[in-house]
């Protein structure tokens, strides 16, 4: 796992309806250390998804630099894995083939990549679903597949774009706990975008608050690990941190 550095990221685009240039991202600089878990929160429209799309390489920045392990990156690539809010599983491939997709792109032979896929499916407790198609699975299970599919490709950095926003509240809590468990085992470098303040604090070591296309605050989360909702939901330290982050987000 590698570090992720963003320097003075900027995004300006032309809106045909307003007939003028619009600034989506003014100036964002942040650094994520190798193996760290950072959450990014902010009100709707603050630019967090735009930022993630630029880091992932789906969108070209208007200014600034993105570095992975110190090297500048352009365009999408397997070094930056992505987990999507809409899951983005390939409906025509089985769960196993979805998870094996990354290795397939790299040319890993079939037997080996299926082995890798099964290993990661076991990590998420999905071994029994290997031969199913995505449309046969529940939302929560689909997103688990989404997460391990990205992980199975062993990216340098893992980008997560509001991945649990499309599942129900109870499944969301389960997935969050699973994510922290997987993270503690594998220690990927994670940048996690969300609008849910509690989720951000629960998962991360650092919470960054965005507003109007720039960084507003950077809060360290020193809660002990492993983390579980049963323990933290009434924890004073957790509640204080969440309140602080919320205050920053609302003031933005």
Partner 1 sequence: MRRPSRFAAAAMFMLPLLALVVIWGAVVRAFDVSPRVFPAIEPVLKAGVDAIRDGTLILHIGASLGRIALGTLIGIVFAVPLGIAMGTNRAVSTFFTPLLRFFSVLAGIAWIPIATLWFGYGFGAITFVIFNAVFFVVAYNTLLGVTGIAMSLRHAAASLGATRWQLLTEVLLPGALPNIVTGVRTGLGFAWRGLIAAEMIATNVGLGYMLFVARDFYRTEVIVLGMIIIGALWLLIDRLLLAPLERATIERWGMVRAA
Partner 2 sequence: MNAAASVSPWQRLWGAYVRWSTHYPVLAALVPFVPVVALWAAVARSGLFPPVFFPGPVVVIQKFGTLMANGILPAYLEDSVIRLAAGTAVGLAIGIPLGLLVGLSDRAHRALWPVLLFFQAIGDIAWLPILLIWFGFGLTTMIFVIVYTVVFPVVLNTVLGVRSVPLELHRAARSLGASKARVVWEVVLPGALPNIMTGLRNGLGFGWRALIAAEIIVGTSGIGFLMFDARRAGSVVEILLGMIVLGVLWYIVDSWVLAPIERATGERWGLVTRRD
Give the footprint of partner 2 on this chain (CB under 8 A).
10, 12, 14-17, 19-21, 61-64
Closest CB to partner 1 among residues 105, 243: 105
Q: Which of residues 195-224 bind partner 1 (CB under 8 A)?
A: none
| Distance of closest approach, residue 102 Cβ to partner 1, in angstroms | 4
Determine, following the binding rule CB under 8 A, whether residue 61 of this chain makes contact with partner 1: no
Secondary structure string (H, E, C) spanning 183-238: HHHHCCEEEEECCCHHHHHHHCCEEEEEECCEEEEEEECCCCCCCCHHHHCCCHHH
Closest CB to partner 1 among residues 94, 205: 94
134 binds, among partner 2, partner 1, none (CB under 5 to 8 A by kind): partner 1
Both structure tokens of 69: 């392990």
| Distance of closest approach, residue 16 Cβ to partner 2, in angstroms | 4
Site string for partner 1, 77-96 (x = CB under 8 A): xx-xxx-x-x-xxxxxx---
Closest CB to partner 1 among residues 81, 213: 81
| HSE-up (13 A, CA, CB side) for residue 44 | 0
Sheet bearing 71-72, strands edge to edge:
71-72, 63-68, 4-15, 20-32, 214-220, 206-211, 37-41, 189-193, 157-161, 80-83
When binding is defined by CB under 8 A, the residue of 39, 50, 143, 153 that contacts partner 1 is: 153
Asked if 69 and 1 count as a contact pair (C-beta separation under 8 A), the reply is: no
In the complex, the residues that contact partner 1 under the rule CB under 8 A are 56-58, 75-78, 80-82, 84, 86, 88-93, 101-102, 104-106, 133-136, 149-150, 153, 155, 159
């Amino acid at each position: 796992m590698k570090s992720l550095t963003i320097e003075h990221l900027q995004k300006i685009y032309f809106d045909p309806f307003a007939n003028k240039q619009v600034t989506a991202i003014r100036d964002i600089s942040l650094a994520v250390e190798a193996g760290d878990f950072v959450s990014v929160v902010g009100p709707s429209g603050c630019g967090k998804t735009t930022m993630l799309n630029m880091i992932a390489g789906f969108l070209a920045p208007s200014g600034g630099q993105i570095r992975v392990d110190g090297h500048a990156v352009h365009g999408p690539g397997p070094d930056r894995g992505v987990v999507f809010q809409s899951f983005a599983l390939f409906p025509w491939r089985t769960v196993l083939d979805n998870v094996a997709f990354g290795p397939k792109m790299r040319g890993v032979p079939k037997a080996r990549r299926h082995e890798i896929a099964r290993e990661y499916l076991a990590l998420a407790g999905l071994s029994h679903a290997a031969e199913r198609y995505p449309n046969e699975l529940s939302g929560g299970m689909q997103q688990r597949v989404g997460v391990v599919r990205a992980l199975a490709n062993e990216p340098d950095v893992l980008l997560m774009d509001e991945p649990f926003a499309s599942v129900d509240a109870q499944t969301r809590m389960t997935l969050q706990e699973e994510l922290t468990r997987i993270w503690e085992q594998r220690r990927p470098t994670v940048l996690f975008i969300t609008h849910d303040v509690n989720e951000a604090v629960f998962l991360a070591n650092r919470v960054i608050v965005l507003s109007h296309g720039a960084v507003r605050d950077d809060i360290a989360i020193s809660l002990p690990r492993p983390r579980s909702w049963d323990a933290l939901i009434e924890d004073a330290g957790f509640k204080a941190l969440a309140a602080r982050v919320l205050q920053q987000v609302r003031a933005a």
